[in-house]
A and B are shown apart, each in its own frame.
Chain A
């Protein structure tokens, strides 16, 4: 199984193939609806982002608050398509990976192919299990957004599957086609 360490390189990302299992070790950043809106608005105003996203991974997650003794509460992926209106902008400024669940728009896939970014999928609804792979969490931007703030996470062996690769191959479409029955 391939291991990805952040920051990523374009070469390592371009060598990933849809359907492949991968683990991630290193720093990743969180961001979901409200944070994406703010990041893209900041870009529109020509401002510097509160975090340098070049060669980094954004995890689409809004975690639960941590119980005492835990780095973070339950922390599984949220549905990615809601970030589709914003993702191409971030990919164009160098974002290398996204972790979420579910389908993406053609515009996102196009940007991924052009710029060399990968879409990784984590197990939706397995927030308790995934939280155990997150060793440290701190809010680094937009604290007023609560669970939607941007967190810096330190992860070890965080399990994902390559959902869509830089050639546009899609693990969901491939898996579904393999098991589809006539009439289904």
Chain B
């Protein structure tokens, strides 16, 4: 459904991506792992159409994404993607339910209808009790679950999550991942999660390991949960936990 071919992206003299190719299937859950600075976030931003690679292509259902102008990419992101980051993504002045309703409102749904949908998403993610609180009054785990609800609310085809548990302790991180993966599977939404945490990667159907801006290996669920994490030749030394 979503595929990238030979992505290259440089920032000044740093080469962030150096020929990355990968593919995400319908409803598939994929983890992108690798040491810090290996280009995971940059790859995610290219896939999500937030930035454009210098060369290579990104296709959604066979349609080129990277060649679209800013307006068209913005619309495409709004209609197809949901995004979750590590922290600081909720608008501090809006209550949790308003934060979740926001993308629905931007998609021209009515106020009542959006609020109702937002509340039911908060319920599904087990944070219904926080609906009328502002982000400043929520714990890290609650914040992330509200962010997940916001990403899911528009019914996206792919959710991109960049270190969604990076700022959480392991228990809260587990709860967030359970909720994220659970709802993604229920609604048959594909999920691309960037992480350098093995436990997070273990939730995925498939793990793609990046090193120095290139794919160093791929493994499927069985292999990665068994601990023999990576099937690629250059990542055999287990760099995953950098």
Do A and B belong to a common assembly?
A: no
